Amino acid sequence: MAQLRSSFWRVGHDREIKLGARSVLMAIVNVTPDSFSDGGRYETVEAAVTHALEAISEGAQIIDIGGESTRPGADVVPPFEEQARVLPVIEALRAKTDALISIDTYRAETARLAIGAGAHIINDVFGLQKEPEIGKVAADARAGLCLMHTGRDREKLPDVITDQIFFLERSLEIASSAGVPKDRIVLDPGFGFAKDTEENLELMARFGELHRFGLPLLAGTSRKRFVGAITGRQAADRDAGTAATSALLRLAGASIFRVHDVAINRDALAVADAMLAARNSFEQGNLA
């Protein structure tokens, strides 16, 4: 089990969030008609905002808003349509809550407009490697930045951790060149993104090796296909399996958890946090 040290993730609009002793929940709000588990449920601004506020009441500290589905085979959405979906939701949420808002996009212009509308974090599923200009957007806005690993649209290296290191080191080089400080960056190993069940399980088992980067880690396993392969459940019924992966990855050192169902993951992570606190207390007592 990883030793979790306290730190602060600095994000946009002069905000920060404490990481360490307590897990942080990032709630997924898909403003899309075709996302794999909840497509169409939150297409309207009112529905998306209502869902986001419910997630906050259940314990989410970050709301991650996306306007294009990232499921395999999903249609590419034109930038203007993505922006028309997400910007009104961000503006409405900013007026109703102090919770942090994340924009799930790989497009620099969408990220720029989203930060202007009130978002604090840019969550790029291509780790700055599709539109590197997004790094400059993050630097100029002093926004938080989540860099995700993906195996899509490229040839992966055979070892799952070697491929993580190869890809994420390139992402960090782009961020550094753009002027993004490290205290504004978290890393996401991209569970499910061009990874089969065996690769996802190996990535979970070896998750601790990612601490070599010295940066906070985000886990996004929620309702992913590999959870369904293990449990035999359809996407909408994978929240219990997701909560199990969240607890296990917390013990391996993940700090932030991107989920659909906040309540069940909050409870699972509360148990993991309590166990980590008890372990730390025991170890400190033995050293005294």
Domain-by-domain residue ranges, the chain?
7-286
Task: Select from 164, 224, 175 the least CA-distant residue to 197.
Answer: 224
pTM (predicted TM-score): 0.94
**Tokens linked to 86:** 């997400």
What is the residue-averaged pLDDT of the chain? 94
pLDDT tens per residue across span 33-51? 754 455 556 678 999 999 9
Q: Is 258 a catalytic residue?
A: yes
Question: What is the helix (H) or strand (E) element at residue 63, kind and residue range?
Answer: strand 62-66
Average pLDDT, stretch 221-236?
97
Look at residue 128 in the predicted model and tell me its pLDDT. 98
Q: Where in 143-287 does DSSP place strands (E)?
A: 144-148, 185-188, 218-219, 256-259
**Tokens linked to 87:** 């910007």
Cα–Cα distance measured from residue 268 to residue 270, given in angstroms and rounded to the nearest whole number:
5
Beta strands 62-66; 24-30: pairing state: parallel
For residue 129, give the DSSP letter: S
* Active-site residue identified among 224, 225, 250, 266: 224
* 103 confidence band (pLDDT: 50, 70, 90): very high
Identity of the residue numbered 122? I
Cα–Cα distance measured from residue 91 to residue 75, given in angstroms and rounded to the nearest whole number:
26
Q: Is 136 a catalytic residue?
A: no
For domain 7-286, give the CATH number.
3.20.20.20
Say if residues 143 and 122 touch (Cβ distance below 8 Å): yes
pLDDT tens per residue across span 265-283? 999 999 999 999 999 889 8
- In sequence order, which residues have a C-beta less than 8 Å from that of residue 125 and are 6 or more positions away? 70, 104, 106, 148, 150, 190, 193
* Active-site residue identified among 136, 238, 250, 258: 258
Cα–Cα distance measured from residue 106 to residue 127, given in angstroms and rounded to the nearest whole number:
8
Question: Cα 78 to chain center, whole Å?
Answer: 23
In degrees and rounded to multiples of 5, residue 9 shows phi and psi of -95, 110
Look at residue 2 in the predicted model and tell me its pLDDT. 63
